[in-house]
Structure 1
């Protein structure tokens, strides 16, 4: 096990922060909410400042040509039962920063976490990374202030970088969008501004048990953390000692710890998983062509939104925003508003003495490389409550799971800078004999250690899968 892996694991096993206890963080977030003035108003597109429909490009875009645009696309594919469809999509080709500064305090790695307000957040203030900025933001296209702590990331030496990945965003809403997920280590005292706080990794994971407390950007960054590998006998020994001392670690959390640290015993080898995904990418096609918003089939543009004719999926709206503590305190922008709450769930099962995850290979129109690994169940664009019985593998199993089989069940927000009050039910459900080892087509069993291995590389796990992985606690 590398030193960095050990440092991360030690922090993940610590829920005692050096500054605030986890329960006090909840009160601190409430105080941050009360301290910030906020005004968000839905408006007509003509009321957006510096945003216009570009008749030549057929898009809704900022007059600077930066930030992002709302484009129309036509998708053709031989995947699934819908071979062709039109839709609006967010086109934001810039690679932004999603980054944490970390520091060892009292021997435990702490993450400098920001209480950040976003216009689309359900509850306004959520826990975000130290730095959360697009290239347009940190290059000050908006003529506002530079984001706090930006220079620490720009000047970081390779020896300081603990994690550095390019990871995708929502493939059904963004066109090939990626962000640089980065964690750096400092060993000097740095200023801690009023809306920032040091938290352990264990605290961040504990806070994910609350609805809409930890934002999507925090979840994607910490999902990429690797804890290394250990011999099964060593893990069993330490679990035995922990059981003798206290009952802090329950059986399920011990099982997840084994699944993340043991690299053998998996029912499928890494080579077999790569072949599984490579084969699917070789036989399925994804053709995406830009289409003017006004020409999208089944979509209608009104004064205040762009919506599907059946009011399904999502719509594009316009908002004016005023927030007291941002780099820019007043601005306008388009946002994506969902038509319903979604569901993302992993089904897990013990195989060969190790928890395995039923992982779905999923094609989405905005994917950078056609197919990514997704949760067992992912229902975001349709209403899962009215899905035809038997049409979606594992959906009925997840929704009817008894409480003792549910490890995780909370509402988690999508990224509040682009999505207006979108929250999805996130679940992890443990299966027994009622789920067999045989899986439907396009599904494969993977251990948490294997999922973490693929997270070290770009564009393998989608953001919904990463969000769920981030929530897994070992203590």
Structure 2
């Protein structure tokens, strides 16, 4: 199969795949999930083969905060999965091998996924299904050129210390795309990011970890080249400011050394206690008559059971628990030009599921409706700035799906909003202005930049190679 020449080819491939690659998901009570059972003492949900993941209870304490204590269910998946994309040059242009994959939690069926997206249980065959295609390229990366290979966290509010290996491997030999796979260029992927619910969460995470020079160097450069560049364009142009933000020589509001010290100091000072708790006796949560685990307020999320029938997957049928959130989330970055260099306002956020207490989050990351049942002081300090932003200041606005293998119809509106530079915004506790080069530099290491920020970074970086679609056009 030759690389997709036009985006119309991609949409035709999607239309063609929908008839033979799909998941049909039926909600069932948690007690009726085949292969899963609740621990009689704690209620913890486990698979009978011992792999995959568990759903457990958690008790969290943050003294001195507006919400000082709470309890919640959480997914515990300690095994580290592989999220990997193969890249190969065609006529000197890097192309990425993407999979058209249906997940049980996807709101729209098929999404554009990495070449490999597999938990350890999957690739060791615990599910009893077919082998994962192309997996050997990632399990033995020494045979190829490694562009990116780093462990990154997942959502710290829904996963307990979950990490996945984000990889990009460059190959030189022949790689024949199987049915449901196609080669796409980075500019094509960037254009597709402007479409609602199309490029999946794991793809966005990997793209954020891609070295910046791989997308800004000349077309005959290989991914990962470290040659510098000079950003074109006038000082007043947004795209030029964005490209300058990718340049290691561009001035930054804070030095990387001071930012690392700030992160380390916050990790030491943050008072966060996380303890295991019985899922069947969590304060504020209950089992509903139809077999869900739900919060007493009717907000936040449910733990539901689903029965899945699939085509085009390694396994044709299975049952599993999933998290089903209420409402569409908001993940937003405020960006500003400082001396002609675009800076993003990031928030150092603590989550109970993080390995190392805090990670860099977007300016705002929440479901606004949840704050109707929380103390007013808990409301994110810049949420109203985001919700009331002038439409002319919005540089990116698309609804993106969260990971469809564990979350059911979980979606967040991704916003990049330009604002005049205001130093006082960083006076809110836990906020700093950073360049894209600084954020991408931290992505070479684990546990610094959270999932939501990586997702937004992929969207923001897409504006370097593709003109943004009109706001709302994707919907």
Q: TM-score, normalised by structure 2?
A: 0.90
| Secondary structure of 1:223's aligned partner | helix
Q: Distance in 2 between matches of 1:26 and 1:386?
A: 42
Q: Distance in 2 between matches of 1:85 and 1:234?
A: 49
Q: 2:409 aligns with which of 394, 401, 421?
A: 421
Aligned counterpart, 2:243: 257
| Secondary structure of 2:141's aligned partner | coil
Summarize the alignment of residues 262-281 of structure 1 with structure 2, pairs less than 5 Å apart.
262-281=248-267
Q: CA deviation at 1:46?
A: 2.8
Q: 2:230 aligns with which of 229, 235, 242?
A: 235
Aligned counterpart, 2:151: 166
Q: Distance in 2 between matches of 1:183 and 1:461?
A: 18
Q: CA deviation at 1:396?
A: 1.5
Superposed CA deviations along residues 384-404 of structure 1, whole A, max 9, x for unmatched, are: 689859942221121122222
Aligned counterpart, 1:376: 363
Summarize the alignment of residues 359-374 of structure 1 with structure 2, pairs less than 5 Å apart.
359-374=346-361
2:66/2:378 contact within 8 Å kept: no
Aligned counterpart, 1:446: 434
The 10-residue stretch of structure 1 (60-69 or 50-59) with the greater mean CA deviation from structure 2? 50-59
Matched, 1:461 2:449: yes
1:220/1:463 contact within 8 Å kept: yes
Q: CA deviation at 1:79?
A: 6.3
Q: 2:30 aligns with which of 45, 50, 53?
A: 45
| Secondary structure of 1:316's aligned partner | strand
1:75/1:86 contact within 8 Å kept: yes
Summarize the alignment of residues 61-460 of structure 1 with structure 2, pairs less than 5 Å apart.
61-78=46-63, 80-157=65-142, 160-228=145-213, 235-236=230-231, 238-239=232-233, 251-302=237-288, 303-380=290-367, 382-383=369-370, 391-432=379-420, 436=424, 438-460=426-448
Cα distance, 1:396–1:462 mapped onto 2, change above 3 Å: same
Cα distance, 1:138–1:52 mapped onto 2, change above 3 Å: same
Cα distance, 1:394–1:468 mapped onto 2, change above 3 Å: same
Aligned counterpart, 1:9: none
Q: Distance in 1 between matches of 2:146 and 2:272?
A: 35
Q: Distance in 2 between matches of 1:260 and 1:234?
A: 9
Q: What count of residue pairs does the alignment treat as equivalent?
A: 450
Q: TM-score, normalised by structure 1?
A: 0.90
**Runs of 4+ displaced beyond 4 Å:** 228-231, 384-390, 433-438
Q: CA deviation at 1:25?
A: 1.4
Superposed CA RMSD in Å reads: 2.4
Q: Distance in 2 between matches of 1:252 and 1:47?
A: 54
Cα distance, 1:263–1:463 mapped onto 2, change above 3 Å: farther
